[in-house]
Structure 1
């Protein structure tokens, strides 16, 4: 049984169900240009409506800083939501107060209503008690289906869940079950691939994983700082010399807990960072002073793939090289394809997340074969850091 209350635990028929969703979608020429986030919450909306619930959608859009802003009104999203869920969607000009109350009062079982941007009220981001109470007044039950906002203790993610019976929606449930399988109670060995430009942005991730996984593969510019920490010269490569001691501390903690730190043994170098730049592969100990590391080499790719072969569980966040610019996408694409194949053929549980990671897996054509790919950037990162997520904790059973 899941540790979180889900729709399976809720009596929805005839109830006013406040559903927190992520509709912070990209727009172009006044229309939604990517409906991925809407499609993610459609199953929850339709299930509640099909079971006779009255679906009242709560969402934010942009950063209006507590003030109404027409450019950030959710009225621009209504048509796209209706098209995805295949149902009419009504709209209320506010998320609390008389307008919202009148719109909710007019609903029938199975109806869907989208309330205006919660961030038009300063009380949302302050998690103000009165604001949360005004939201809760509109419903009988609360469902959170927005994992991407679960790391924020806001009125519509945390405050309201303390005032109504609260449940995880289907998208949230899938996310929580995937994360639990990857780091909560994983099958071992667990291998984590953590890449990206800077150690400074992922210190907490590296420190948490170094005591929770069996092998930690470090890629991207971050690996250069770890090479520096081992006394390896990295030429003109992106690195953070002031974090060398931090890298040494993480390596010592990993050694103490029996976690292998996997760093490049050969690297791809170039004199400039641009598409099609002349490049060559050198030993990691032989980077020329006037060159920069932009990817890992074939021996290192083979090592990473070897760890993936050993793994029962794989957690991935961040690229292995400067994947945005060919040919420096080679290692990321090769390892992603290998992980996808192991997932497909050998039962590897592969869980990935973060904006760059999602882009890299799409580039490799590997995302569909991963066990789970999270589109929640900040929340996924804080989960990797081992931090509590306020919007999740209030959904726990007991």
Structure 2
């Protein structure tokens, strides 16, 4: 189906979902996160390659209700697989798709299931993604009253013609209303922006950044548009309807957002993410980037526990059928080698403002530190005083080059 990515190949996953004993050894001593993938959207955005479906594509208005029952079954499966030594859940993230296409009672019911199954750690972070037009004050109040702490709005742009190119359907004027309703409910606010859309001028991008800053979110993400194979946008670029994003233009726009956010008091903590204070950082995503354990619930969701990674079947019907029969919805899995885990530590860790400890790198990588400093890709002062590799702004723009240098043999 157009816009739905293929899952990677892997080893067969047992129908029981059972994990190797070695994967559970350190389970009690590491944070546990839960991701809930809600794969429904009202319309499909032209650039999106996530595992999402419109109700028209599924051919059934009952699919969301079936999904909720199935997700609860997967939660029970997770309880059996992880066993009694599992720690309370530190973060929960509802993503999609558009999670807020479900009634608020469904989201809070799933959160209640997570709480009753594993418990929530004190101060747990609980986030849902939302479109600005998909929630109102009552919906957001219900979320907050039942344990949600954060809402992440997919704003993407404040400029109508840019939103139209992206096939985004929300009215930019409704963003302010949605943010105000979230604040009134007591929820922290994150805003997501996209830069590099065909036809977006530097002035358009500045308008979007300034509009986001005017709302004073606790957290802001800004991602460069990528043209993914199988999407409507990829077909339009191939036919010449739209030009491909220009890397130089995207670099200029990254510099613009970084400068304006820094001037407004926001600090970057990951290449594409800024927070007003350290406590406003998205802890859920930090768990991903630090290699913590997480269980992904839902069609196509990915999970990782103790070096074992697996992914669910994509289609909601196949997902529901597996769980209804008592089987795991996992399509396949892989066990990461020591070398793969070390490579991922470098690949993900270098993206963070905390950086990478130089002394934890291999001998060949340590020899390249001086070259990276000389090229202006990492902060030379921090490398010398703190023995950490932290990307400069230029390094953030060329992060793949840094990773290649550190992993080259």
| TM-score normalised by the chain length of structure 1 | 0.30
Larger gyration radius, structure 1 or structure 2: 1
Structure number with greater CO (CA < 8 Å, separation at least 6) is 2
| TM-score normalised by the chain length of structure 2 | 0.30
